[in-house]
Structure 1
Amino acid sequence: MPDAPSPDLSPFDAVVIGAGAAGLFCAGQAGQLGVKVLLVDHAEKVAEKIRISGGGRCNFTNRDLDPRAPHKHFLGDNPHFCRSALARYTPADFLALVQKHGIPFHEKHKGQLFGDESSDDFIRMLLAECEAGGVTHWQPCSVSAIAHDGEGYTLQTSRGAVRTRAVVIATGGLSIPKIGATDFGHRIAQQFGLRVVAPRPALVPLTFDGAAWAPFAQLAGLALPVRIETGTKKERVAFDEDLLFTHRGLSGPAVLQISSYWKEGTPLRIDLAPGQDLAGELLAAKARGSRKLIANELAQWVPSRLADAWVQQDAAWQRPVNEASDKALQQLAARLSAWELVPTGSEGYRKAEVTAGGVDTRELSSQTLEATKQPRLYFIGEVVDVTGWLGGYNFQWAWASGHACAQALAASLVSRENAP
């Protein structure tokens, strides 16, 4: 690593703080456009969140993203804010980069793209892009203070003071503190007078009261397809995904998706047998004279472990189908098709895949990601109040916001004569 320069002799046009997805990509793109970039990160290892993503294979984008209607896949106080960046750097653009580097990939359901081998392939790709852009990379290197004097910024770092014309905050949110997540980006925004939308865990498992959950804790590890929803009227949101029972509550793609929209104290509604007319099926079985236990009959449409646990809630369901009343069968079907329950909370930032909230988008330019009242201070990626669905959308926001910022840095800092 090079020695830290004196503030007066700094060779850097811009300092990017945070070597995660957004920071690495922005630094590499800006460097290749002629910006002299210093990339710093306080963590020991680079891009740990990329490394653990997608089960270690990195769900790097999603083909189904529609930049013309970003509110379909993103949330925040202003979901339309991300439209500009996403329209200018699409999943196809990033996929072309992946193919250029020869990284094998495959598509799973609902447009999700994963690497075939390891997330490390993508980290190496991003580092190679930084190298191609002549990016100087200091890691580990912490930043203790940032000051602006009207002409530029002075950063106090663990490797000395650095003078620069622009600063990019790409430090992410609060999710997964064990790999280095902090509130640094939010604090810098507030230091310079920018509003921050209260952060909260998102894409996170939900938990329930221990005593009330006890009958279902025995189902830990059980997964099944469901339809899950929360909210009412215009705010109603629903997903068709897989649900996973845990010892403390619910997880799986269905719950991770709905958690971003769930509000404390409000119920979830879950159809445990979507597309099935359970009442009709059970009544038809009774009409045929079925002597099977209700749980055994029910196991045709839901997992047998769930059927066995479910019927324990009511003695009227613990008998052969032909001995049950029509009302009991109808009530059982109704409960399974519209299970309503209120989470007591979530597993928090330690298990949240992303952080919702962050730097208020009303404080930023949607074209450049620059703070509107603080020149050449930029915020990109998860630190901004833009949160995507599960399935590669948050990575695409990292790439798109990083690209928009890199373009803006080049336009602002690189003279035409010096441009490559």
Structure 2
Amino acid sequence: MTRWRATASLGRAALVATAAATFAVLLGDPVLVVLAGPLALCAALGFVHTTRSRPRLDVVLDHSVLHEGQGTTSRLQVTGADAVEHVARVSGRAAYLALHPADGVVGTLWDPQRGLDLELGPRRWGQYRPAEEKVALTAAWGGWRWGPVPLTATSLRVLPGRAPFDSRAEMPQPVGLVGAHRSRRTGTGSEFAGVRPFHVGDRLQRVSWRVSLRTGELHVVSTRSEEDSAVLLVVDALGDHGRSGGVDGEASSLDLAVRAAAAVARHVGRAGDRVGLRVLGPTAGVVGYGSGARHQQRVLTTLAGIRPGRAADDDADRIRLPVTPGTVVVVFSPMLDDRVSTMTATLTRRGLPTVVVDTLPGTAAEAGSDERGHPSIDALAWRMRLVERDLLLADVAAHGCPVVPWRGPGTLDRVLRGFSGSVRAPRAGAR
């Protein structure tokens, strides 16, 4: 049980003062008393400030949810510390958590108004629990010490930073009721579709009097209705390839996938469209279609909880995606697993607009060599894996599913315009 204990300095001061007084009496030399006087005084003051209080310690974070690159403060709360004069705090190191001071060691004379704080800066998305730290309290004159007491702050959720992304292309198959995309059918809207003869039921405000006077027949202006679209984001978390250096360093395949998915979700949400999310991996998560700020927060929270790995029930035949007709499917994957290629081929055969965003970083394709300059065994295995990846990419492309690398703004523009052109083009069918 934690309790106040005498410090080593108090023990040494009391021992030396007692020994000096004893030898001074035995030897009849008062000089020893004079020399040991300061130590005796410190020991006496230490014993005078003996306390029986029971301090309570706690560590509280100012924020429990942050974005990559943001920071928060870890505050030490001490109650029942009337006799405390000095506080020392030492924090361990956790992955992707920067500390200030960098060594995680702080100590000062205790002031309840100022406290004793540590600054934390998460450098990567995910769920984190700050490293264990130890706190020691010292009474006046350094005579008594409480602790060190191990403490751990509450968990910290770091949402992925949104990579720069923008798209000027329209969604190919808007299926909702009200939105910002031009529909394939005419209706009430603001997008001009053409001028046609008047039919029973047309509104008089749509009459084009200029054309009607010129032709002698009543004509009306037809417009296209404006509808919203649904976008399903699929994140491949079956593995994480490459090195992750945090928000300011290199990005692994899962870093690219998570940040790109967050950027696309934000763009789709700002356009007024509905967005859904499906994660393939051990922490499989499904977020239904929706829009708005609260739904965006749900998507980011699910992305922050992703953990790479394989699940026992992630067979290609068991992967079921909540895809409705007309939904645009965007798959973020390094394309190193045949289950992902099988899934994308199935979606493409169903007639759904599907695009694969290649998230394999360029540094992950580099192969190492041994001391003699020959490729190492790991490098040879990785090269063979890349050959299999090329075959998977060729199979996906053969089914009509485009594969594009992630390059930020404009990544999906060309693909979406191609989908829109193929949808609007007339199709010939056998009767």
Higher strand share: 2
TM-score (norm 2): 0.16
Larger Rg: 2
TM value normalised by structure 1: 0.17
- Structure ranking higher on relative contact order (CA contacts 8 Å, 6+ apart): 1
Structure with the higher fraction of residues in helix conformation:
1
